[in-house]
Amino acid sequence: MSRQVDRESLTLITGAAQGIGGATARHFDTLGARLALNDREASPALAALCAATDAVAAPADITSRDDIRSMIATLTSQHGPIGTLVCNAAYMTMAPFLEHEPGDWWKIIDTNAAGTLRVIQEVLPSMRSLGGGRIVVVCSYWGLTGWPDASAYAASKAGLISLVKTLGRELAPEGIVVNGIAPGVTATPQLEVDARAAGLSVAEMHRQYAAGIPLGRIAHADEIAAGIAFLADRRLGAMIGTVLNVNGGEVRARA
């Protein structure tokens, strides 16, 4: 059954130039969504994806509230209100807790947790003008389990899980439906960070992660994109503050 995403108002996807964000943009394009694609800066990858999906490029650094406000003001004035938001932008480095440089540790929190919060805050007036909307936050199963050498990333994603649950309850009376998705290990360029931290090739990193997953493999970005489209479906109005676990069976939790 085809997903019924919003085809009238704008869908904004952050961190869209590659990985899960790029896969989500391509998936939503097949469903007929009107897309605005964000990444930290303009790039050939973002331009190529926008051309392929007939999307509007919306570069902005989500650690800067001024950047976000300018981006959203431009989008809404030129293309109309934003009715669907996919918060996918993230930053990750890995290091043992006591060796992680404090400025970088807090940059992860500021990008992943505070950056997502800023984007949602600035998009809410647009959704309220429409009388409702859909927000999907890309969390991580590391936010449920924690992970060695990833204290900041896991903490940021745990914060997003709590944010999804809280905003789900707070915004539901306005018709703004908030849910999240917690991908397990997924084949995206982010795994290069894991591989460097472990001193392994990317292929070997894939194999090691797959060995601990009941399904026997890591996820594909397209599978996460399909889960995001499910959560953004306009017919799915009673699912509120839920975090969908997509991890090949490695983590099974009521979240």
What's the mean pLDDT when you consider all of the chain? 94
Token digits of residue 203: 């292929």
Q: Which of 91, 141, 153, 209 is catalytic?
A: 153
The CATH class given to the 10-184+219-246 domain equals alpha beta
Contact assessment for residue 135 and residue 176, using Cβ atoms and an 8 Å cutoff: yes
What percent of the chain has a predicted confidence (pLDDT) above 70? 98
pLDDT of 254 > 50? The answer is no
| Strands of the sheet with 82-87, listed across from one edge | 56-57, 34-37, 10-13, 82-87, 133-138, 176-183, 243-246
Contact assessment for residue 116 and residue 43, using Cβ atoms and an 8 Å cutoff: no
209 is catalytic: no
pTM above 0.85, yes or no: yes
What pLDDT was estimated at residue 7? 85
What pLDDT was estimated at residue 198? 87
pLDDT tens across 109-121, in order? 999 999 999 999 9
pLDDT of 139 > 50? The answer is yes
To which H or E segment does residue 206 belong?
A: helix 202-211
pLDDT band at 252 (very low <50, low <70, confident <90, very high): low
Spatial separation of the C-alpha atoms in residues 226 and 233, rounded to whole Å: 11
Dihedral of alpha carbons 83, 163, 140, 247, sign: negative
pLDDT tens across 65-74, in order? 999 999 999 9
pLDDT of 1 > 60? The answer is no
pLDDT tens across 200-231, in order? 898 888 888 888 888 899 889 999 999 999 99
Contact assessment for residue 108 and residue 153, using Cβ atoms and an 8 Å cutoff: yes
pLDDT of 173 > 50? The answer is yes
pLDDT of 90 > 60? The answer is yes
